[in-house]
Chains A and B, each alone.
Chain A
Amino acid sequence: MMGPASELICGGYPQGTQPYERFLLSPSAWGQLPAALMQEPAMALLGIWADSAQIHACFLHESSGEAVLASTPVTGGYYAALSPARPGAVRFERMILELWGHHAEGAVDLRPWLDHGRWPLRHPLAAKPIPFSGEPPQPEFLPVEGDGIHQIPVGPIHAGVIEPGHFRFSVQGEVVVRLEQRLGYKHKGTLSLMFGTSPRAAVRYAARLSGDTTVAHSWAFSAAVEAALDVAPPPRALHLRALMLELERIHNHLNDWGFICNDAAFAFPHARCGFLREGVLRAIAAAFGHRLMMDRVLPGGVAPDIAPRGAEAILAALDAVEAEIPALMQIYEAHASLQDRMVTTGFLRPELARGFAAGGHVGRASGRDFDARRLPQNHPYPVLAFDVPVLEAGDVDARLRIRVAELGQSIALVRQLLTNLPAGELMAPLPVRAGEGVAMIEGFRGECLHWVRLDDGGLIRGIFPRDPSWLQWPLLEAAIEDNIVADFPLCNKSFNCSYSGVDL
């Protein structure tokens, strides 16, 4: 089963990362990695990041669901690029150059990404950042050739209540020939704020990496810390985490369902989904004291406990959602004008979804069957019953249908969790010591991958929170090609990638 890339990586020096091993490779072994990856397509790249001296990458064996990490020292400011073998590497390599100052040799693209030339320093995460002042450079876009091509610049401020980012459309008549995204407007220096703090202090940044995914990111961060310190949170805490994670999926999927229809100017589902979602959020507030459940998942467990009447409120709100799903779906399907906008629009080829290891509804609507809830270490999911819907159609309609199917699954999961909520403690104590851990938690967009390294004093010395959007944003550029400009909002909403999550 082991291909050349796996063998190369496992030939490195194990570094003791939990629960997936990280192997340190010599620069020459790492240099052979791109060629080896070409021969092992089932080895998916989940992310690349750095520290001041090394590059780290996380891979997933698509067939077994096992992950493995590889690292290499940066020599003279350079390391071998993985982007020639894995297209998903491109944005990570751009980000690493800007934040740490390490150059990917042989990279496909190293244009500025997060750094717009407006910070007082360059390479803010390098051992020695360089002070910077001067005019911000103009962004460079890839050239587009052809007859009668013109450009439409959109953003950073968009027309709706959404996050800022710039889209550069090159269009021929009505048809999009190329879309290029330029993000980074929301860069808040989150990683630098997390460095040197304790896990308890840093988790609030994980909770605010992408507010709509606050539970999943807080959990992934906490789970990485717990893996590093070999701590098992109490069963009640794990159940409550899963409960919150499913509620987060439910409120976001309802939101997206409504908004996708709204972007096709079909207001009724938007109004109903918005109302149902409001009911869910109020129930969540009654149960957990916060409408989005921010700062509820903490390293070691959960705080506070679910309120005494919280379960009732949640079940009542979910009953209302469940009762209305069939009627809403029937309306969705019965309107030819709506179907005409959804079906075949924004088609994402399954090969591309696999090539980028796209998670969540983006991957699963294009045939990539991965869900981090099925990983054996992600308790309590191994004892829960649920299906993971997968479709092949890859269009806006398929991404919407995945969400609706997941809604049903999540409602069933919440009921299982509430019936079998174990009694007991909510928090396990965290020892103060060194360790390194990695975790993947399935948020509503896909798996949130966090890597954490703690020093002897238990403080954060290495961190990378990877939002699933890293591997989905580039695919939106592909999915919109040959669609008309007017369908962009639909395609965009059907992906619903996070800006804040990737801007860091």
Chain B
Amino acid sequence: MLWPKLARALFAKPLTDEAPLLPRETIQALGERLAATSRARLGRSLAIREVDSGSCNGCELEVNALQNVAYDLERFGLRFVASPKHADVLLVTGPACLNMREALERALASTPEPRWVVAVGDCAVDGGVFKGSYAVENGIGAVLPVDLLIPGCPPSPAQLLEGLLSLLEAEAAKK
């Protein structure tokens, strides 16, 4: 039966992990980027649109895992949305595949300013193992203006969370 389980869960201790400690340098770098681009503030909540520009799908697995109850993203004001039109952050995985270039450009054009572009995984950072292939333009920096790099193959949910929270911190620091 489902209802007794749900009722018990109300009184059980939470399954959620502690929030991670954030790297000072990353926040500072992001803060400087904010100041330099004199971007308007987004506030203490970010809507994230994930776009796969040609990953092996390993990065998707970890972005999906980030949404499980152990990480409980919404307590930080982070949530994934279905359209770039509703997004503050474009979270891009995979190398910049030539066959995805137009779709990436359109996704960026549909994302309202102010916005962040985050490259997730070694492929998105610089092409990863696919660097130099005739079918990719290496990292997604070739197509999109990238604000934050989260390397790893794939980066773990904890690393992803750290990166996303750094964006929020940088926003908060810029008063």
| A498 to B60 CA separation, bound complex (whole angstroms) | 12
Would you call A383 an interface residue if the criterion is a C-beta within 8 Å of the partner chain's C-beta atoms?
no
Q: Are B135 and A291 in contact (CB under 8 A)?
A: no
Contact of B101 among A118, A184, A189, A208 (CB under 8 A): A118
Q: Are B133 and A193 in contact (CB under 8 A)?
A: yes
B89 to chain A, nearest CB (A): 13
Contacts of B57 in A (CB 8 A): 163, 210-212, 498-500
| A131 to B174 CA separation, bound complex (whole angstroms) | 50
Would you call B58 an interface residue if the criterion is a C-beta within 8 Å of the partner chain's C-beta atoms?
yes
- Give residues of chain A (197-230) contacting chain B, Cβ–Cβ below 8 Å: 204-205, 208-212, 214
| A188 to B97 CA separation, bound complex (whole angstroms) | 6
Q: Are B58 and A214 in contact (CB under 8 A)?
A: yes
A337 to chain B, nearest CB (A): 11
B99 to chain A, nearest CB (A): 5
Contact of A157 among B2, B99, B107, B130 (CB under 8 A): B107
Q: Are B58 and A124 in contact (CB under 8 A)?
A: no
| A278 to B60 CA separation, bound complex (whole angstroms) | 14
- Give residues of chain A (91-148) contacting chain B, Cβ–Cβ below 8 Å: 116, 118-121, 124
| A452 to B126 CA separation, bound complex (whole angstroms) | 28
- Give residues of chain A (359-398) contacting chain B, Cβ–Cβ below 8 Å: none
Tally of contact residues, A, Cβ under 8 A: 52
| A281 to B70 CA separation, bound complex (whole angstroms) | 12
Would you call B6 an interface residue if the criterion is a C-beta within 8 Å of the partner chain's C-beta atoms?
yes
Contacts of A285 in B (CB 8 A): 156
Closest chain A residue, CB of each to CB of B6: A268
- Give residues of chain B (74-123) contacting chain A, Cβ–Cβ below 8 Å: 80, 82-84, 94-95, 97-103, 107
Q: Are B58 and A119 in contact (CB under 8 A)?
A: no
Known: A157-B51, A292-B61, A335-B2. A185 touches B99 (CB 8 A): yes
Closest chain A residue, CB of each to CB of B70: A278
Contacts of A210 in B (CB 8 A): 56-57
Contacts of A331 in B (CB 8 A): 1-2, 5
Would you call A415 an interface residue if the criterion is a C-beta within 8 Å of the partner chain's C-beta atoms?
no
* 30 A–B contacts, CB within 8 A, in A order: A116-B98, A157-B103, A161-B50, A161-B64, A161-B80, A163-B60, A164-B53, A164-B54, A186-B100, A188-B136, A189-B130, A192-B134, A193-B130, A205-B129, A208-B130, A211-B59, A212-B61, A214-B56, A271-B68, A275-B68, A277-B65, A277-B68, A294-B58, A294-B153, A327-B5, A330-B1, A335-B2, A499-B57, A500-B56, A503-B54
**Chain B residues in contact with chain A, CB under 8 A?**
1-2, 5-6, 15, 50-65, 67-70, 80, 82-84, 94-95, 97-103, 107, 128-130, 132-136, 153-154, 156
**Chain A residues in contact with chain B, CB under 8 A?**
116, 118-121, 124, 156-157, 159-164, 184-190, 192-193, 204-205, 208-212, 214, 255, 268, 271, 274-275, 277-278, 281, 285, 291-292, 294, 327, 330-331, 334-335, 498-500, 503
